[in-house]
Chain A
């Protein structure tokens, strides 16, 4: 076991549904979450990310496998015996209590002294900037404020790990951006490990120290946002994180040859055979004159997006490739439909995926 891990999942399996139609939510999942990191479980709905979170919280029991917290097996402890707290997607604020009572609930249940509870709640109210709202009922505050109360409530007992189940999904775009920054700030200030569940890849990339990309009950890849973006291990990860062009190619002696015959430089160390190349649209370069190694292509369409524009290209062999070009001050975006152009890829930008 790694010395720095606060949570370790070892070969955890969880199945739902009856014997007739079992649904495997988690399939022998193993992962280590490090102390004080902002760890994100990312994946489409039904990938098992929420199930893993609920297993850590204790709302579900694993069928097999172990979940360790600080080296101690907790897989079969009820949630009220685990030093782990959750921020729920729906916030789950108690409607019959005030903001203050909500935040103090966990401390009260732990049997802390009234004065201590008061002190901690005051500090929490300040931390999430909700001091003026302390005596309000939870249905008298806005969605963003409810979010802050939910955070404060989960942080108040000083859990070893804070679990966040898509907490920003109910907020509108602007508020969501604000809360992303707020969450990072809280994580830094409290030094608590955050385990964050989301299906929003942009959210995951901007907030996380490390990300686990999940699909079909399995973890595909764990790594920093940069690693996952630039070196996706498979087609699923490359496709789910950002936009990607997939190009079929043959590897011959360390060089990739496209169907049309063009050669593309790649990293060394891949075995010969059929592969898929992944290239981000922003790494596709367009030139009007053919430089050495450039691939001839035709512009099929060009769509203006404000900060940039997407150029849809057809290579000679018919392969479709999207390029993303920055727009200049005049809003002019370069090539237009029907233009004959040449395409090449930024050095080091082409990833080789197992086909």
Chain B
């Protein structure tokens, strides 16, 4: 490499960093930096009235899985914590699977319309995506609550006497998350299907494949990067959901997000909250790494 080029490269990198510096500063102060503070707090002792006391301890991390009996000092599994973790993972997986089951046909439908229709339908998917999550969850709340539209209609039609209790159940949270995160599944699926060469289907049918065989052996393998992207995009926010379980799950059907909040409020155990946050962060990062590996391996189809 020539000296001229080396100089140009150095100047190039310097300019890139200088121009990015203000953004990096804002992010360091108000997004990335504070994450390090949580890490530190997760190794401290809880203060009596919230906050922390300075003293190194693994208690918070241990407290995620086991609890210490206050009377005899023995350790046993923290059932309540595990229930919350399990509920979070279960509901997030269910949400991911169900949004895929209904999202895939939707994305396919949009991608196979004529161009003008396609743009309009895509816009219709995008509006809810950008609409306030709170408003959308609230809309579901109004439909499924005991005196809501669904139960009122059913009673007036004489189908039931008593309202069916949906709100403040796990099912309500699942329904709400499916509703609010569906666009996150449809959009990447659409992007993948849109690039799909429909002539491959003609080739498939020409070679005696049935519709189901074409779907299973041609379409799904080729749009797999979109499926993985959509699943990650739904799974990650589902796992960290706060608003939806709070509005539809009530106080008892907590997910990790609400449980973390509890530690900083009534629970007054900031280190445990910090450790739980780190745990959630780690799960999300692992999911993202898996995604990056999958995406790179299957990138060739894109």
Q: Is there direct touching of A and B in the complex, by C-beta distance under 8 Å? A: yes
User: Within 8 Å of chain A (Cβ to Cβ): is B13?
Assistant: no
**Interface size class of chain A, counting residues whose CB lies under 8 Å from the partner chain:** under 10
| B4–A18 CB distance below 8 A | no
- Which chain A residue has the least Cβ–Cβ distance from B7? A61
Instruction: Report Cα–Cα, A63/B1, bound state, in Å.
Output: 9
- Which chain B residue has the least Cβ–Cβ distance from A19? B1
Chain B nearest CB from A19 CB (Å) reads 4
Interchain residue pairs A-B with the least CB separation, the first 3 = A63-B2, A19-B1, A61-B4
For residue A18, which residues in chain B have a CB less than 8 angstroms away from its CB? 1
Instruction: Report Cα–Cα, A124/B44, bound state, in Å.
Output: 76
Chain B nearest CB from A67 CB (Å) reads 13
Chain B nearest CB from A48 CB (Å) reads 16
For residue A19, which residues in chain B have a CB less than 8 angstroms away from its CB? 1
Query: Interface of B with A (CB < 8 Å)?
Result: 1-5, 8
User: Within 8 Å of chain B (Cβ to Cβ): is A15?
Assistant: yes
User: Within 8 Å of chain B (Cβ to Cβ): is A306?
Assistant: no
For residue B2, which residues in chain A have a CB less than 8 angstroms away from its CB? 15, 63-64
| A22–B4 CB distance below 8 A | no
For residue A22, which residues in chain B have a CB less than 8 angstroms away from its CB? 1
Known: A61-B4, A61-B8. 6 other contacts (CB 8 A): A15-B1, A62-B4, A63-B2, A63-B3, A63-B4, A64-B2
For residue B3, which residues in chain A have a CB less than 8 angstroms away from its CB? 63
Instruction: Report Cα–Cα, A334/B16, bound state, in Å.
Output: 69
Chain A window 123-142, contacts with chain B (Cβ cutoff 8 Å), 1 for yes, 0 for no: 00000000000000000000
For residue B8, which residues in chain A have a CB less than 8 angstroms away from its CB? 61
Chain A nearest CB from B8 CB (Å) reads 8
- Which chain A residue has the least Cβ–Cβ distance from B8? A61
- Which chain B residue has the least Cβ–Cβ distance from A20? B1
Chain A window 38-50, contacts with chain B (Cβ cutoff 8 Å), 1 for yes, 0 for no: 0000000000000
- Which chain A residue has the least Cβ–Cβ distance from B9? A18
List which A253-284 residues lie within 8 A (CB) of chain B: none
Chain B nearest CB from A348 CB (Å) reads 47
List which A44-79 residues lie within 8 A (CB) of chain B: 61-64
For residue B1, which residues in chain A have a CB less than 8 angstroms away from its CB? 15, 18-19, 22
Instruction: Report Cα–Cα, A230/B2, bound state, in Å.
Output: 40
For residue B5, which residues in chain A have a CB less than 8 angstroms away from its CB? 15, 63
List which A5-58 residues lie within 8 A (CB) of chain B: 15, 18-19, 22
Chain B nearest CB from A292 CB (Å) reads 61
Chain B nearest CB from A16 CB (Å) reads 8
Chain A window 280-322, contacts with chain B (Cβ cutoff 8 Å), 1 for yes, 0 for no: 0000000000000000000000000000000000000000000
Cross-chain pairs A/B with CB under 8 angstroms, 7 sampled: A15-B5, A18-B1, A19-B1, A61-B4, A63-B2, A63-B4, A63-B5
For residue B4, which residues in chain A have a CB less than 8 angstroms away from its CB? 61-63
